[in-house]
Amino acid sequence: MSNLPTSVEFHEEGPREGFQMEPTTYPLADRAALIDALSASGLKQIQVASFVSPRAVPQMADASELFAAITKRPGTRYTALWLNDNGFERARACEQVDLDGKLMFYTTEPFSQRNNNCSVAEMRERQLGWLDRYIALGIPVEKAYVITAFGCNLGGAVPLSAVTDQVRWLVDACADRRVPLPAVYLADTMGWAHPEEIKRRVGAVREIVPQAQMGLHLHDTRGVGGANVYAALQMGVRLFDSSVAGLGGCPFAGHTHGGAAGNICTEDMVFMCQELGIEAGIDLEALIEAARLAERIIGRSLSGHVMHSGSLAATKR
């Protein structure tokens, strides 16, 4: 019918995206139990925590302790987020983190300043340092994120050229160093994307780096997340970041009404892919159990759907 991929990969971001935005810090044992429940579902990659300023994000101050508390499952990578050299060195020092060589680019000055305390150009220059550091340490460069690639609550509309310029610059930087660029992720950090724009921007970036896989980091801020995933699938995209139970949202994204800024919901999207005949390599029922555990830990109803309605497994049998 269309150009859907035969398999997809969801990288779980709930533990980091979800708990960083909560006003309280939840017990470490609860967070470790959630991560273990997530890995039991077969997720291949889980972002456990961020190594960022404990002053800015106190919920993530115990990132190293959390890594130590996880029961690691073979076949699952346990990754972390860092935004600067200091964070990367803390992640390295932790020794428990599966270090994925990632790069990050901004598209608007106000969000670059607010999230990373530097200008768009400064962040870009810093990526040369990250690149060289990864190469020196033997960490393969794995992916680059273009943040707020569809629009920004603080900076407004983001022209396509703001995205493609960063990608072109990075392609040159990688070529200079003779390292491949395996994947480019477009992040809809604040839920501005719509399905046709997903197609347009994925297509435009793919023209620049046809050899790289395209990935998407999507938020379901305005109820269009599922449609955006479907549009991406139609473009053959097979890498997605997502959050169990729809947890998450960036604390610095500046939404006007506070709520509903979560990532696309892992189990809902796994459900959709399964229904579409696309292999996600996930035990959906186990993932739903993890989502319900997340709800019990957070202590309020979360935005995931399948966790409340149940999948169709029992009824279809």
* Total interface residues for a copy of itself by CB under 8 A: 55
Q: Is 152 a catalytic residue?
A: no
Q: What's the CA gap between 47 and 29, in Å, rounded?
A: 17
Residue numbers 107-166 binding a copy of itself by CB under 8 A? 151, 153, 156-157
Q: Which is nearer to a copy of itself, 215 or 262 (CB)?
A: 262
Q: Which is nearer to a copy of itself, 132 or 275 (CB)?
A: 275
Residue 75 interacting with a copy of itself (CB under 8 A): no
275: left (phi over 0), alpha (psi -120 to 50) or beta: alpha
Residue 221 interacting with a copy of itself (CB under 8 A): yes
Q: What's the CA gap between 267 and 308, in Å, rounded?
A: 11
Binding mask 247-286 for a copy of itself (x = CB under 8 A): --------xxxxxxx---x--xx-xx--xxx---------
Q: Contacting a copy of itself (CB under 8 A), which of 197, 205, 206, 237?
A: 197
Contact (CB, 8 A) for 264 and 246: yes
Residue 313 interacting with a copy of itself (CB under 8 A): no
Q: What's the closest the beta carbon of residue 111 comes to a copy of itself, in angstroms?
A: 12
Residue 200 interacting with a copy of itself (CB under 8 A): yes
Contact (CB, 8 A) for 263 and 248: yes
Residue 222 interacting with a copy of itself (CB under 8 A): yes
Q: What's the CA gap between 151 and 226, in Å, rounded?
A: 18
Provide the edge-to-edge strand list for the sheet that holds 101-105: 77-82, 45-51, 9-12, 239-242, 213-218, 183-188, 141-146, 101-105
Q: What's the CA gap between 158 and 300, in Å, rounded?
A: 35
Q: What's the CA gap between 99 and 68, in Å, rounded?
A: 15
Residues that bind a copy of itself (CB under 8 A): 1-2, 4, 151, 153, 156-157, 191-192, 194-197, 199-200, 220-227, 229-231, 255-261, 265, 268-269, 271-272, 275-277, 301, 303-312, 314-316
Residue positions annotated with a catalytic role: 250
